[in-house]
Amino acid sequence: MAFFSSTATVPQNLTFVSSNKLSFSPSSTTSFNFVSFPSFQSKFCKTITSSPQITRAHAPPTPSTETTTASSFHGLCYVVGDNIDTDQIIPAEHLTLVPSKPDEYQKLGSFALIGLPDSYTVRFVESGETKTKYSIIIGGANFGCGSSREHAPVALGASGAAAVVAESYARIFFRNSVATGEV
């Protein structure tokens, strides 16, 4: 899978209506970093944001070739809070699964975000399913903190998530995303 990371500028006053709906107030803006799983083909075009302006990592364009690029993600959103650690993304008892084996990769995706506390009443991946209906994960600060397990970004990709939009990421989670090629 290809990797990219960008920064999206979105309105600052986010309103989380439920675990899968997100709305914006038209006031000031703030930046959110997002990590994307581009191999995911979104089938869930029901609810999401706007067309954020994307800042890509490349040389600045010359004045004669300057263009405006806008991207948008469409799909159901799963909203989590700050400091979602890798043990919440994929608990240690599932680290025996080998992502290079297709059947175990699929099973790894079915356990994504299974370690979230009971206060999250809606599961990211329903029982008995291997893929999630949520193509976008909205997170707060320090997403992916905790241990250095590379299974965490792999599990999110295997679950069918297309992107993780968060205020910030733990450095090791971001590096493991790059190293595993999930993002």
Could you tell me if residue 152 is inside a domain? yes
User: What confidence tens digit (pLDDT) does each residue in 40-79 have?
Assistant: 333 333 333 333 444 434 445 555 555 566 566 688 999 9
Could you tell me if residue 23 is inside a domain? no
Q: Which domain holds residue 98?
A: 92-180
Could you tell me if residue 18 is inside a domain? no
Q: How many whole angstroms separate alpha carbon 39 and alpha carbon 33?
A: 19
The answer for residues whose C-beta is within 8 angstroms of residue 96's C-beta and 6 or more apart is none
Q: What percent of the chain has pLDDT over 90?
A: 50
Could you tell me if residue 142 is inside a domain? yes
Q: What is the pLDDT of residue 172?
A: 92
Say if residues 112 and 40 touch (Cβ distance below 8 Å).
no
Could you tell me if residue 170 is inside a domain? yes
Q: How many whole angstroms separate alpha carbon 49 and alpha carbon 9?
A: 11
Section 147-168 average pLDDT: 92
Q: How many whole angstroms separate alpha carbon 38 and alpha carbon 157?
A: 9
What are the φ/ψ torsions at residue 171 (nearest 5 degrees)? Answer: -55, -45
Query: If pLDDT is split at 50, 70 and 90, which confidence band does 27 have?
Result: very low
Could you tell me if residue 112 is inside a domain? yes
Could you tell me if residue 98 is inside a domain? yes
Count CB atoms within 10 A of the CB of residue 39: 11
CATH number reported for the structural domain that contains residue 143 in this entry: 3.20.19.10
Q: How many domains does the chain have?
A: 1
pTM over 0.85: no
Could you tell me if residue 8 is inside a domain? no
Section 121-137 average pLDDT: 94
User: What confidence tens digit (pLDDT) does each residue in 81-116 have?
Assistant: 999 999 999 999 999 999 999 999 999 999 999 999
Lowest mean pLDDT among 31-35, 137-141, 160-164: 31-35
User: 3-state class of 164 per DSSP?
Assistant: strand
